[in-house]
């Protein structure tokens, strides 16, 4: 979509309009505004506002066993501080072992990955912040155990050459760009649509020998190009940063895969359902794309635990459908990932 002329709606104005839709809209607008404020601060840290060497300081491991660096912790803290001005019933973060419960009268639950792809920081590559907002369930202990279809807002910030803020409030996807002169996000791409059939894939191909047959078959078909059954050449990308990959797909199309594989600990892939796959699937669907495990729509899945992982395939709808066909009865029968085989938990 063409970049709109300058001068335009600020994120604050946009959220103010949403806040007028009622008490839930007001709560969502307040929470998104708080997260966006934190993202501006995190952007400064990622750009070197903190000492450059700080990305090298390892503090420990988070709930999922990933190494935590101090910028992960700082990003988490900045989001918590910003959300203190909003009313939140429950909060989940990649950096916290368990969900936390706050104001029982609040209408909202918020889940965040404060600094996705932080391993890329030392390499001066793009990182980001991902968030998902759901209505507080009657029994708040069930927060973060609900399907992704219940999300009422989701988004991510991308700290790249520009700082972008991608947002859906359940009615399309809009992209804001940080104007560094006055530290304000301005609407620069409205109602983004993912092209349905772009011949480009993103996957960490070094894991090919560990993939299940359906994923291998799809990628082999892509690599065969015009000489194979797809009868078209494919391009490949792998940044190793989910936020950067999804941003590219929103603007340019193509498909991203982080599938289950046979390495220890990767039986459900790498990415986390609550604060990575659910919000990205919501955003991608809102932009006309699709998100699947290969067997099931990602948004239909309800997590058992807050840090649960899930295979993630998302992007241009035609490509995702094609990959789902590879997981169909004939090819899927030989898959060796028990959770995702024919009678598997995630197969619907």
DSSP labels, 112-174 = EEEEETGGGGGGT--EEEEEEEEEPPSSGGGTT-S-GGG-SEEEEEEESSSEEEEEESSS-EE
H helix or E strand, kind and range, residue 326 = helix 317-326
Query: Which residues touch 94 (CB under 8 Å, ≥6 apart)?
Result: 62, 63, 64, 66, 72, 76, 112, 113, 114, 116, 272, 275, 307
Q: Find the binding residues for ligand FBP in span 108-127 (CB under 6 A).
A: 116-119
Which of 16, 66, 220, 300 forms a contact with ligand FBP (CB under 6 A)? 66
Which of these ranges, 32-40, 132-140, 149-157, 235-243, lies near ligand FBP under the rule CB under 6 A? 235-243
Binding flag, residue 204, ligand FBP (CB under 6 A): yes
Give the shortest CB-240-to-ligand FBP separation in angstroms. 5
Annotated catalytic residue within 11, 45, 83, 115: 115
CB of 124 to ligand FBP, least distance (A): 15
Contact 189, 1 (CB under 8 A): yes
Whichever of 118 and 319 has its CB closer to ligand FBP, that residue is: 118
72 is catalytic: yes
Write down the catalytic residue from 76, 94, 174, 285. Answer: 94
DSSP string, 254-296: -EEEE--BSSTT-BTBSSBIIIIIHHHHHHHHHTT-EEE-SSS
Distance (Å, whole) CA 201 – CA 214: 15
* Residue choice 74, 106, 132, 241 for contact with ligand FBP (CB under 6 A): 241
The CB-nearest residue to ligand FBP is: 242
Give the number of residues in contact with ligand FBP, rule: CB under 6 A: 11
Q: CB of 117 within 8 A of CB of 129?
A: no
115 is catalytic: yes
Beta carbon nearer to ligand FBP, 28 or 75: 75
Q: Does 93 bind ligand FBP (CB under 6 A)?
A: no
Binding site for ligand FBP (CB under 6 A): 66, 116-119, 204, 240-242, 258, 270
Q: Which residues are catalytic?
A: 66, 72, 94-95, 113, 115-116, 276
């Amino acid at each position: 979509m063409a970049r709109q002329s300058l001068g335009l709606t600020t994120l604050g104005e946009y959220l103010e309009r949403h806040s007028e839709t009622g008490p839930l809209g007001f709560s969502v607008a307040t929470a998104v505004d708080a997260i966006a404020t934190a993202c501006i601060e995190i952007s400064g840290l990622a750009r070197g506002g903190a000492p450059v060497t700080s990305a090298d300081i390892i503090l420990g491991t988070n709930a999922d066993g990933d190494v935590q660096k101090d910028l992960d912790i700082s990003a988490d803290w900045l989001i918590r501080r910003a959300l203190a001005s909003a009313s939140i019933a429950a909060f989940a973060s990649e950096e916290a072992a368990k969900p936390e419960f706050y104001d029982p009268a609040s209408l909202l639950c918020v889940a965040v990955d404060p600094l996705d792809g932080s391993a890329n920081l030392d390499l001066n590559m793009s990182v980001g912040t991902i968030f998902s907002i759901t209505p507080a369930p009657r029994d708040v202990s069930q927060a973060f155990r609900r399907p992704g279809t219940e999300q009422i807002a989701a988004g991510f910030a991308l700290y790249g050459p520009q700082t972008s803020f991608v947002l859906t409030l359940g009615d399309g996807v809009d992209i804001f760009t940080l104007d560094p002169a006055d530290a304000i996000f301005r609407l620069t791409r409205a109602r983004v649509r993912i092209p349905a059939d772009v011949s480009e894939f993103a996957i960490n191909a070094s894991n090919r020998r560990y993939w299940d047959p359906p994923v291998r078959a799809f990628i082999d078909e892509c690599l065969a190009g015009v000489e194979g059954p797809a009868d078209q050449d494919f391009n490949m990308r792998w940044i190793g940063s989910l936020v950067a990959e999804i941003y590219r797909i929103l603007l340019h199309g193509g498909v991203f895969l982080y599938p289950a594989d046979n390495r220890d600990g990767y039986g459900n892939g790498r990415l986390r359902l609550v604060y990575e796959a659910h919000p990205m699937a919501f955003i991608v669907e809102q932009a006309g794309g699709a998100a699947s495990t290969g067997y099931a729509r990602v948004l239909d899945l309800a997590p058992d635990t807050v840090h649960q992982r899930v295979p993630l395939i998302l992007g241009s709808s035609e490509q995702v459908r094609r990959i789902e066909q590879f997981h169909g009865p004939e090819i899927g029968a030989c898959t060796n990932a028990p959770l995702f085989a024919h009678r598997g938990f995630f197969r619907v």
